[in-house]
Amino acid sequence: MWAELLPMGRSSASGGYRRYAWTGADADCRTWFQEQAEARGLAYETDRNGNQWAWLGDPAAGNAVVTGSHLDSVPDGGAFDGPLGVVSAFAALDELRGRGARFTRPLGIVNFGDEEGARFGLACVGSRLTAGALTVEQAHRLTDGDGVTLPRAMEDAGYDPDTLGADPERLARIGAFVELHVEQGRALDLSGDRIGIASAIWPHGRWRFDFRGEANHAGTTRLADRRDPMLPYAETVLAARREAELAGAVATFGKVGVEPNGVNAIPSLVRGWLDSRAADQESLDAVVSGVERAAREHAAAHGADLDVVRESFTPVVEFDHALRDELARILGGATELKVPVLGTGAGHDAGILSGRIPTAMLFVRNPTGVSHSPAESAAEDDCVAGVIALADVLEGLACT
């Protein structure tokens, strides 16, 4: 499975993945998912929001156990963020069949669409729609960098965007969702453990800062006469770093757009996106308001106008304690693994669903902690340990 997925959407220039929602690379991954489902005799379906499901047993029976993750990527992402959870889900099912496990609850494997939000700017679109955390009207307004709307992109990919919307009946059939994911930090590497269990996801969001000035000639315009929006933008990037340090949080300007984007032109517009996350809401609020205050001061000092728009926000997620304890009990007993419980600053579909259904996450050790980069990695024996741990959990939850 891993070898089949590896070439899909991989840039030969960077070695990273460009599997953006509703593109050709995404379609290749989706075809792969459907083939894996059918090869195992699972009932395959796409839901009203374009998420893919594979079922063993009848989900209408209710109290289903679901596992899976996502197959899309950030720009030049790594191979593991997302796909490890989907591949491990199929591999865990194979493992359980090899053990002769008898299922007492329906088992679902899911690939959530557009988890990274690389194309339309909002993360977890598939799970947010399903959970009713994103309205159809909001989804219809999502537009990519080329001006293509989400409904148009779905239609071009052969899906019907008229069906988008909350799917409470589907969620009502699920008794537990467990997402396995490569760790996106070094906690397991430092503690010397292969597998961890998630405790919580930090509150996080994305804010767009539009600095508007005046385009002019880079050679002939006196410095004193300029309204250059690049200057307050640069000050704001530095302010974000300072505010994050003060609050013990993180803040990143990782994407920037410049108009007219000419070497010899003073920009008319600099648009930067702030991604900020913190362990608690108060710290996150302090970072974002501090960055915005600095941006306004510097914009005024340079004669630029500023608009700040919050594009997305996910409050703190505390995973279901009973399910988390059940995972710890199963893993502690079955494999005698020491399984640390850790929080994370990364967003996940499991976080979106946790407000609606009991949800848990397993993390697989990442030896460098690097993620959202082509250098993201996990050792093969740790990935195998992840599959066995997931199989143990599914067996404990869904089998006699």
266 makes contact, choosing from ligand GLV, Mn ion, none, with CB < 5 to 8 Å by partner type, with none
Residues forming beta bridges with residue 46, ordered by sequence position: 52
326 makes contact, choosing from Mn ion, ligand GLV, none, with CB < 5 to 8 Å by partner type, with none
Residue the block writes with tokens 């508007």: 212
C-alpha–C-alpha distance, residues 346 and 182, integer Å? 11
116 vs 392, beta carbon nearer ligand GLV: 116
Q: Binding to Mn ion by residue 81, rule CB under 5 A?
A: yes
Q: Binding to ligand GLV by residue 213, rule CB under 6 A?
A: no
CA atoms within 13 A on the CB side of 386: 33
243 vs 275, beta carbon nearer ligand GLV: 275
In 260-280, which positions are buried (b, 16+ CB within 10 angstroms) versus exposed (e)? eeeeebbbbbbbbbbbbbbbe
> Are the CB atoms for 160 and 22 separated by under 8 Å?
no
82 makes contact, choosing from ligand GLV, Mn ion, none, with CB < 5 to 8 Å by partner type, with Mn ion
382 makes contact, choosing from ligand GLV, Mn ion, none, with CB < 5 to 8 Å by partner type, with none
Q: Among residue numbers 120 through 159, which ones bind ligand GLV (CB under 6 A)?
A: 123
Contact pattern from residue 251 through residue 290 relative to Mn ion, giving x for each residue in contact according to CB under 5 A and a dash for the rest: ----------------------------------------
Least gap, CB of 265 to ligand GLV (angstroms) = 33
* Site size for ligand GLV (CB under 6 A): 4
Q: Binding to Mn ion by residue 392, rule CB under 5 A?
A: no
112 vs 211, beta carbon nearer ligand GLV: 112
Q: Which residue's CB comes closest to Mn ion?
A: 81
Q: Among residue numbers 10 through 69, which ones bind ligand GLV (CB under 6 A)?
A: none
Residues 6+ apart with CB under 8 A from 98: none
Q: Binding to ligand GLV by residue 347, rule CB under 6 A?
A: yes
206 vs 302, beta carbon nearer ligand GLV: 206
266 vs 389, beta carbon nearer Mn ion: 389
Q: Which of 200, 291, 346, 364 binds ligand GLV (CB under 6 A)?
A: 346
347 makes contact, choosing from ligand GLV, Mn ion, none, with CB < 5 to 8 Å by partner type, with ligand GLV
**Ramachandran area for residue 282 (φ above 0: left; ψ -120 to 50: alpha; else beta):** alpha
What is the contact surface with ligand GLV in residues (CB under 6 A)?
116, 123, 346-347
What is the contact surface with Mn ion in residues (CB under 5 A)?
81-82
